[in-house]
Structure 1
Amino acid sequence: MSVKFLSAASFGYGALARSSKVCAAALAVFVGLSEGVSAETVTIAALGDSLSHGYGLPAGQGFVPQLQAWLDANGADAKVLNAGVSGDTTAGGLSRVDWTLTDDVDAMIVELGGNDLLRGVDPDVSRQNLSGILSAAHAKEVEVLLVGIEGTANFGADYKQRFDAMYPDLAQEFGTLYYPNFFAGIAAGGVTPETLRNFMQPDGIHPNAEGVKLIIAAIGPSVLELVNAAQ
């Protein structure tokens, strides 16, 4: 909205008074609209696999509800939607990204690749799928936090190198926010048998509720950055 300022010489007193009232009313509307935009809740879709979905955990203890509680406690006006599907690969995420990105979604956390790693999917294929997901978000002008996961040496050093490289490479290519390792909050003190007992479920793959709490404490600031970018 533009406001045109008019000189008093152009009007008689009555006309000037009416003009002033109109400008004041227009300014009030503008301020009200600005306040409404700044206070609008940011809707975040957490597109991921079982780690996002909350596999093996009671309701309210998974990644999404714990993240929501953390954001609330830190004063963020944001709503997190659980778009995690247990067992999903990057291909699965790509197949459902379009209907995940509804008009009310302002931002997206992309947490995928763990099941590709477990199945030995070619990292070039995983990279292409993630690229498709980020392209879809870019087309919808949705801000993204890309969350990586560290590869293992099970399929050789070359596989691990290519797998680990795809996350930072894609984040740079698409200009997204980037969080290197979903498990950073748990792995910060080193991965030991005690760590696995205290913070992981018996399968050694999925975090327990206390493990999720550590994960959220570590990734939370990056999600706050995502919220700010989407506002």
Structure 2
Amino acid sequence: MGRFQQLLGFVTIGLGLLAAQVPAKAQEAASAGTPEIVAFGDSLSAGYGVGPGESFPEQLQAALGKAGIAAKVVNAGVSGDTTTGGLARLDWSVPASADLVIVELGANDALRGISPDVTRRNLDDILKRLTSRAGTRVILAGMLAPPNMGEDYAARFNPIYGELAKQYGVAFYPFFLDGVASVAGLNQADYMHPNKDGVAVIVERMLPLVRETLAAPKA
């Protein structure tokens, strides 16, 4: 677990994209009649440090295409974002037309030692807003507190995701970095972000849940 701590040692690196473009991109998908998926998160989903076509949204879209699902995956990731930042930009980052929203936030909360009560409150509000939208499905991607935060912090932080997923009845992926955290060959030289191969592992492991959730009846 030594490099797990390093992997999660995120620093705020600024915006990973022009988030204002997200609604327009999602609208294009809606016009084309294809499912809209919005990857709503931080640098892990924004694609920090990887090349064109290698980010989580791009690789997920490609994987869905190979599976015969012509979905549009929109990148609504902002590097350095916390759950507080995500909540503040939710309404203009995630259009109401989205068929599926993958919520991937909270790593930066833990790294900064933000109270788990704040993280829980923000994620609760995000899920409340998203699940109130007619026809929007949600996948909540979990995160684990870095070991240096201590057992007490982890005991308060780690259960947040599963408990909220159960409360709101949304699909749950327990750990976004499953199979990637602490694996040197799957991370960039900074040991803070997955490389293209690491992203591929995340996509491969999450793909079955994405397909299952897309196929589920709309609320």
Query: Following TM superposition, by how much is the alpha carbon of 1:230 offset from its aligned partner in structure 2, in angstroms?
Result: 5.7
Which of 153, 177, 191 is 1:183 aligned to? 177
Which of 190, 197, 201 is 1:203 aligned to? 190
Contact 2:102 2:141 in 1 (8 A): yes
In the aligned structure 1, how far is the partner of 2:179 from the partner of 2:60? 13
- 1:90-139 CA-partner distances (Å, limit 9, x unpaired): 00110111122323211100000011111111111001000111011012
Q: Give the equivalent residue in structure 2 for 1:90.
A: 83
Query: Following TM superposition, by how much is the alpha carbon of 1:54 offset from its aligned partner in structure 2, in angstroms?
Result: 0.1
- 1:40-93 CA-partner distances (Å, limit 9, x unpaired): 521111100000100011111111101110010011232111000000000011
Note the 1:1-231 alignment, pairs <5 A. 40-141=33-134, 142-187=136-181, 191=182, 195-196=183-184, 198-229=185-216
SS of 1:154's equivalent in the other structure is helix
**Unaligned segments of structure 2, at least 5 residues:** 1-31
Large movers: runs of 4+ above 6 Å: none
Greater relative contact order: 1 or 2 (C-alpha under 8 angstroms, separation 6 or more)?
Answer: 2
Alignment length (residue pairs): 186
In the aligned structure 2, how far is the partner of 1:177 from the partner of 1:129? 18
Kindly tell me: are residues 94 and 135 of structure 1, through their superposed partners in 2, closer, same or farther at Cα, counting changes over 3 Å? same
Amino acid at match of 1:79: K
Q: Give the equivalent residue in structure 2 for 1:3.
A: none
In the aligned structure 2, how far is the partner of 1:228 from the partner of 1:40? 15
In the aligned structure 2, how far is the partner of 1:205 from the partner of 1:184? 14
Among the aligned pairs, what percent are the same residue?
47
Larger gyration radius, structure 1 or structure 2? 1
SS of 2:189's equivalent in the other structure is coil
The answer to which structure has the higher helix fraction is 1
Q: Give the equivalent residue in structure 1 for 2:23.
A: none
SS of 2:117's equivalent in the other structure is helix
Amino acid at match of 1:120: G
Contact 1:153 1:159 in 2 (8 A): no
**Unaligned segments of structure 1, at least 5 residues:** 1-38
Q: Give the equivalent residue in structure 2 for 1:9.
A: none
Query: Following TM superposition, by how much is the alpha carbon of 1:224 offset from its aligned partner in structure 2, in angstroms?
Result: 0.8
TM-score normalized by the length of structure 1: 0.77
SS of 2:148's equivalent in the other structure is coil
Query: Following TM superposition, by how much is the alpha carbon of 1:163 offset from its aligned partner in structure 2, in angstroms?
Result: 0.8
Contact 2:111 2:145 in 1 (8 A): no
TM-score normalized by the length of structure 2: 0.81
